Structure 1
Amino acid sequence: MNTRDWPIRAKLTALVIGPVTALLALWIFATTLTFGPALDLLAARTYLYDLGRPGETVVAELQQERRLSVVQLAGESTLPALAEQRGRTDRAIAELRRRVNGDDLRDAADELLDTRLDQLVSALDALPAGRGFIDARKLDRAGAIGLYSGMISSAFQAFSAMAAMPDHQLNREALALTALGRSRELLGQADALLAGALTAGRYADGEHEQLVRTIDNERFLAETAVADLPASERAGYQRLVESPDWVRLRALQDTLVRSRELPARLDVRAWETSRAGAWQSLRDFELRGADGLAERSVPMAVGILVRLAAAGVLGLLAIVVCVLVALRVGRSLARRLTGVRTAALEMAEDRLPDVVARLRRGEVVDVAKEAPELDHGGDEIGEVGRAFNEVRRTALQSAVDEVTLRRGLNEVFLNIARRSQGLVHRQLALLDRLERQTEDPDELAGLFQVDHLATRLRRHAEDLVILAGAAPGRGWRNPVAAVDVIRGAISEVESYDRVDVGDVQPAGLLGRAVGDVIHLLAELIENATAFSPPGSRVDVTGRTVPGGYAIEITDRGLGMSPQALTEANRRLSRSPEFDPADSARLGHFVVARLAARHGVRVELRVGTPAGTVAVVLVPADLVTAEPALAPAAPAGGATPDDRRMAKVTRLATVPRPRTARPGRERADSAVVPLSAGRTSAVENPADGDGLPRRVRRRGPANRPRAAVADAAPRSPEEVRRAMAALQAGTARGRRDGLRAAESGADPAGPVPPAPDRAAGATGPAPDRPTEPSPPEPSPAPQPPTATERDA
Structure 2
Amino acid sequence: MTTASSIGDTERAKDVNAELLTPVGEFVSAVQDERAAALSGDGLGAAGEVTDKAAAALKDGINASSSDAALLDAGLPERIERLESDVRGLAAVRSGVSAKGAASSATYTKYTTVIEHAFAVTGALTGDEGTDAASDARVVLELARAREAMAREQALLGAAAGSGTLSREQYALFVGAVATQRELLEPAVADLKAAHQGAYQEILDGQGYARVQAVENRVRAAGPGAVPSTTLSGWDTASTTVLEGLTAAETAAGTGATAKADPFGWDTLGASGIAVVLGLVGVLLSLLVSVLVGRGLIVELLDLRNSALEVAGRRLPQAMRRLHAGQGVDIDAEAPMRRLAGDELAQVGTALTAVQRAALKAASERAELLSGISGVYVSLARRSQVLLHRQLDLLDALEQRQQDPAVLQELYRVDYLATRMRRHSESLLILSGIAPGRGWRDPIALSDVLRAAVAEIENAPRVQIWAVPRVSVVGGSVADVIHLLAELVENAAAFSPPSTKVQLRAARVRDGVLIEVEDSGFGMNEDALADANRKIQSDRVDLLDAKQIGLFVVNRLRERQGLRVELRASPGGGVTAAVFLPEGLIRDDMPVAEADRQGRGLAPASALIQRQGMAGA
Cα deviation per residue 1:451-482 (whole Å; 9 max; x = unaligned)? 11110000000111122222223222332222
Judged with a 3 Å threshold, the aligned counterparts in structure 2 of structure 1 residues 759 and 595 are, in CA distance, closer, same or farther, namely farther
Judged with a 3 Å threshold, the aligned counterparts in structure 2 of structure 1 residues 399 and 432 are, in CA distance, closer, same or farther, namely same
- Give 2:515's aligned amino acid: I
Cα deviation per residue 1:298-345 (whole Å; 9 max; x = unaligned)? xxxxxxxxxxxxxx9xx98x9877545523555544443444444444
Aligned to 1:502: 466
Give, in whole Å, the separation in 1 of the partners of 2:564 and 2:613.
Answer: 32
Judged with a 3 Å threshold, the aligned counterparts in structure 2 of structure 1 residues 443 and 404 are, in CA distance, closer, same or farther, namely same
Give, in whole Å, the separation in 1 of the partners of 2:587 and 2:293.
Answer: 72
Residue number among 427, 432, 452 corresponding to 1:463 in the alignment:
427
Residue number among 454, 471, 474 corresponding to 1:490 in the alignment:
454
Residue number among 383, 389, 393 corresponding to 1:419 in the alignment:
383
Give, in whole Å, the separation in 2 of the partners of 1:600 and 1:515.
Answer: 14
How far apart are residue 348 of structure 1 and its match?
4.1
Matched, 1:359 2:323: yes
Aligned to 2:517: 553
1:696-707 equivalent positions in 2, closer than 5 A: none
How far apart are residue 375 of structure 1 and its match?
7.7
Give, in whole Å, the separation in 2 of the partners of 1:349 and 1:618.
Answer: 39
Judged with a 3 Å threshold, the aligned counterparts in structure 2 of structure 1 residues 576 and 760 are, in CA distance, closer, same or farther, namely farther
Judged with a 3 Å threshold, the aligned counterparts in structure 2 of structure 1 residues 572 and 324 are, in CA distance, closer, same or farther, namely same
1:16-55 equivalent positions in 2, closer than 5 A: none
Does structure 2 conserve the Cα–Cα contact (< 8 Å) formed by 1:538 and 1:555? yes
Residue number among 493, 496, 501 corresponding to 1:532 in the alignment:
496
Aligned to 2:557: 594
Alignment gaps of 5+ in structure 1? 1-311, 630-645, 650-689, 691-729, 735-750, 762-783
Residue number among 597, 605, 625 corresponding to 2:568 in the alignment:
605
Does structure 2 conserve the Cα–Cα contact (< 8 Å) formed by 1:760 and 1:789? no
Aligned to 2:505: 541
Judged with a 3 Å threshold, the aligned counterparts in structure 2 of structure 1 residues 607 and 336 are, in CA distance, closer, same or farther, namely same
- Give 1:571's aligned amino acid: K
Does structure 2 conserve the Cα–Cα contact (< 8 Å) formed by 1:760 and 1:790? no
Aligned to 1:394: 358
1:190-339 equivalent positions in 2, closer than 5 A: 323-327=287-291, 330=294, 332-339=296-303
Judged with a 3 Å threshold, the aligned counterparts in structure 2 of structure 1 residues 615 and 391 are, in CA distance, closer, same or farther, namely same
Does structure 2 conserve the Cα–Cα contact (< 8 Å) formed by 1:487 and 1:753? no
SS in 1 for 2:375: helix
Does structure 2 conserve the Cα–Cα contact (< 8 Å) formed by 1:559 and 1:612? yes
Matched, 1:570 2:541: no
Aligned to 1:32: none
Give, in whole Å, the separation in 1 of the partners of 2:422 and 2:608.
Answer: 12
Task: Quote the RMSD (CA, aligned, Å).
Answer: 3.1
Does structure 2 conserve the Cα–Cα contact (< 8 Å) formed by 1:467 and 1:578? no
Does structure 2 conserve the Cα–Cα contact (< 8 Å) formed by 1:496 and 1:755? no
Give, in whole Å, the separation in 1 of the partners of 2:292 and 2:455.
Answer: 77
Aligned to 1:165: none
Does structure 1 conserve the Cα–Cα contact (< 8 Å) formed by 2:462 and 2:493? yes
How far apart are residue 399 of structure 1 and its match?
1.7
Matched, 1:478 2:425: no
Aligned to 2:584: 621
Does structure 2 conserve the Cα–Cα contact (< 8 Å) formed by 1:490 and 1:522? yes
Cα deviation per residue 1:197-230 (whole Å; 9 max; x = unaligned)? xxxxxxxxxxxxxxxxxxxxxxxxxxxxxxxxxx
Does structure 2 conserve the Cα–Cα contact (< 8 Å) formed by 1:455 and 1:758? no
Task: Count how many residue pairs are aligned between Structure 1 and Structure 2.
Answer: 340
Give, in whole Å, the separation in 1 of the partners of 2:308 and 2:438.
Answer: 46
Give, in whole Å, the separation in 2 of the partners of 1:621 and 1:343.
Answer: 49
SS in 2 for 1:436: helix
Cα deviation per residue 1:220-263 (whole Å; 9 max; x = unaligned)? xxxxxxxxxxxxxxxxxxxxxxxxxxxxxxxxxxxxxxxxxxxx
Give, in whole Å, the separation in 2 of the partners of 1:415 and 1:348.
Answer: 38
CA radius of gyration, larger in: 1
Residue number among 538, 544, 548 corresponding to 1:585 in the alignment:
548
- Give 2:579's aligned amino acid: V
How far apart are residue 507 of structure 1 and its match?
2.2
How far apart are residue 414 of structure 1 and its match?
0.9
How far apart are residue 571 of structure 1 and its match?
1.8
How far apart are residue 624 of structure 1 and its match?
2.6
Alignment gaps of 5+ in structure 2? 1-276
- Give 1:536's aligned amino acid: T
Matched, 1:516 2:480: yes
Judged with a 3 Å threshold, the aligned counterparts in structure 2 of structure 1 residues 387 and 482 are, in CA distance, closer, same or farther, namely same
- Give 1:503's aligned amino acid: A
Give, in whole Å, the separation in 2 of the partners of 1:481 and 1:787.
Answer: 12
Cα deviation per residue 1:471-522 (whole Å; 9 max; x = unaligned)? 2232223322222211111111111111111122222222222111110000
Judged with a 3 Å threshold, the aligned counterparts in structure 2 of structure 1 residues 337 and 510 are, in CA distance, closer, same or farther, namely farther
SS in 1 for 2:386: helix
SS in 2 for 1:478: coil
Give, in whole Å, the separation in 1 of the partners of 2:487 and 2:536.
Answer: 13
- Give 1:496's aligned amino acid: A
How far apart are residue 613 of structure 1 and its match?
1.2
TM-score (norm 1): 0.40
- Give 2:581's aligned amino acid: V
SS in 2 for 1:550: strand
Does structure 1 conserve the Cα–Cα contact (< 8 Å) formed by 2:468 and 2:507? yes
Aligned to 1:450: 414
Cα deviation per residue 1:746-769 (whole Å; 9 max; x = unaligned)? xxxxx86744647645xxxxxxxx
SS in 2 for 1:518: helix
Cα deviation per residue 1:171-196 (whole Å; 9 max; x = unaligned)? xxxxxxxxxxxxxxxxxxxxxxxxxx
Judged with a 3 Å threshold, the aligned counterparts in structure 2 of structure 1 residues 329 and 625 are, in CA distance, closer, same or farther, namely farther
SS in 1 for 2:542: coil
Residue number among 357, 363, 373 corresponding to 1:409 in the alignment:
373
Aligned to 1:772: none
SS in 2 for 1:583: coil
- Give 1:627's aligned amino acid: M
Give, in whole Å, the separation in 1 of the partners of 2:453 and 2:498.
Answer: 19
SS in 2 for 1:541: strand
- Give 2:578's aligned amino acid: V
Judged with a 3 Å threshold, the aligned counterparts in structure 2 of structure 1 residues 596 and 325 are, in CA distance, closer, same or farther, namely farther
Cα deviation per residue 1:350-388 (whole Å; 9 max; x = unaligned)? 433322332343323211111134687541010111122
SS in 1 for 2:377: helix
Does structure 2 conserve the Cα–Cα contact (< 8 Å) formed by 1:425 and 1:787? no
Judged with a 3 Å threshold, the aligned counterparts in structure 2 of structure 1 residues 403 and 536 are, in CA distance, closer, same or farther, namely same
- Give 1:539's aligned amino acid: Q
Does structure 1 conserve the Cα–Cα contact (< 8 Å) formed by 2:419 and 2:456? yes
